[in-house]
Structure 1
Amino acid sequence: MSKKLAAKASLIQLPPFRTPPAVAAAPAVDEQPRELPVSPTGGPSAASAPNPEARPKTAPGSMAVFMASQSAAVKEAEELKLKLRAFEGAVPMKALDPRRIRASRWANRHANALADKAFEELKADIASSGTNVQPVCVRALAVGADPSADYELVFGHRRHRACLELGIPVQAIIADIDDKGLFEAMERENRARKNLSAWEQGMMYRRALDNGLYPSQRKLAEAVGVDLSLISKSLALARLPDAVVEAFPSPLDVQFRWAQPLSEVLQRDPEGLVARAKELKASKVALNAKQVLDALLGQADKALNRSTSPAERRLGRAGQGAVLAADATGRMTLRFDPGVLTPTREAALIDWLNAQFGAD
Structure 2
Amino acid sequence: MTQGIIISLDVMGGDDGVDVVLGGAEIALKRQPDTRFLLFGREDVITAGLTAHPALAAASQVRHCDVTVEMDVKPSLALRQGRYHSSMWRAIQAVKDGEASVCVSAGNTGALMAMARFCLRSMPAIERPAIAAIWPTLRGDSIVLDVGATIGADAEQLVIFSVMGGAMARALFAIQRPTVGLLNVGVEEIKGVEEVRKAGQILREVDLPFINYIGFVEGNDLGKGTSDVVVTEGFSGNIALKAAEGTARQIAQYLRAAMEQSLMTKIGYFFAKGAFNRLREKMDPSKSNGGVFLGLNGLVIKSHGSASPEGFASAIGMGDAMARNNLLKKLSDDLEQFRNVLNNEPKLKD
TM-based fold match above 0.5: no
TM-score (norm. length: structure 2)? 0.24
Q: Larger Cα Rg: Structure 1 or Structure 2?
A: 1
TM-score (norm. length: structure 1)? 0.24
Which structure has more strand as a fraction of its residues? 2
